[in-house]
A and B are shown apart, each in its own frame.
Chain A
Amino acid sequence: GAVVSQHPSWVICKSGTSVKIECRSLDFQATTMFWYRQFPKQSLMLMATSNEGSKATYEQGVEKDKFLINHASLTLSTLTVTSAHPEDSSFYICSARNLAGVEQYFGPGTRLTVT
C-alpha cells in the first residue's frame, strides 16, 4: 500500500513557540492532504483539507492563523502550530489521497506536547 510519513513523530515545545510538522507521501502524488487532531480517547477531528497549490480549507472552529498549512508540492504538506499553548497538546495525524484515489493513507502521527 501507499506510504505516508510524518516528521517528527513526537515533539515537546515551550508555550509561545511554533512547531512545524511535515507530512510526505513517499510513493504516490498526493493531490489532497488532510490534517487531523486527536485528543486522548476521542475520535479523529478533521482540521483542514489542502489541495496541492491551493489554500487549505479549514473546518469550523479551527483558527487558520494559528494552524498554518502549506501544500506546496504533490508530496509534501506542512502544518505549523504557531504560538503553541498547552491546550494544543494533541496527536496530529495527516492523511493523503491521490487524484483517483478512494482511500486515504494515514501518516504515523505526531505527538505534540506543549509545556
Chain B
Amino acid sequence: GQNIDQPTEMTATEGAIVQINCTYQTSGFNGLFWYQQHAGEAPTFLSYNVLDGLEEKGRFSSFLSRSKGYSYLLLKELQMKDSASYLCAVRDSNYQLIWGAGTKLIIKP
C-alpha cells in the first residue's frame, strides 16, 4: 500500500530552526509537495521537489532523497505565524497526490 509518515506534532521556539521529516512509500514517484495549513483554512503551497537535493525559498527549504524515500522541510527564524500544520504529499505514478496526515507545529515565544 501507499504510505506517508510524518510526526504528528512538534514544538519549537520563536527565532529557532525546526526540521519536519517525511518518509514515503508510494507506487511510483512524480514529485513531492509541502503545504502549510492554518486551522480552519485550506492548504497553501510551500515547495515542490522532484529531483534529489535542497530547494531553498526564503526562510523555508525542502530536501528530497528519492533513494531513501525521504524529505524534510526546514523552517528558519521561526515566527509565531508559522504555527500551523505542515502537510507532505507525494504524486504517485497515476499523478494522484497521496497525503500525509500532517505535522502540527507549535511555536512558543
Contact = CB atoms under 8 A, between A and B. Distances in A.
Interface of A: 1, 34, 42-46, 49, 91, 93, 102-109, 111
Nearest to A102: B48
Interface of B: 31, 33, 35, 40-45, 48, 87, 96-97, 99-102
Contacts, number: 39
Contacts of A103: 33, 45, 48
Contacts of B40: 91, 109, 111
Contact of A106 (B43, B96, B99, B101): B43
Given A93-B42, A106-B42, 4 more contacts: A43-B99, A46-B97, A49-B96, A103-B45
A83 to B, nearest CB: 26
Most chain B Cβ neighbours within 10 Å, of A34, A44, A49, A108 = A44
Given A106-B42, A109-B41, A109-B42, A44 B99 contact: yes
Contacts of B101: 42-43
A9 B86 CA distance: 22
A49 B35 CA distance: 19
Contacts of B44: 106
A46 B45 CA distance: 17
B36 to A, nearest CB: 11
A79 to B, nearest CB: 14
A43 B87 contact: yes
A43 B102 contact: yes
Which interface residue of B43, B48, B96, B101 has the most chain A CB atoms within 10 A?
B43
Contacts of A49: 96
B96 A46 contact: yes
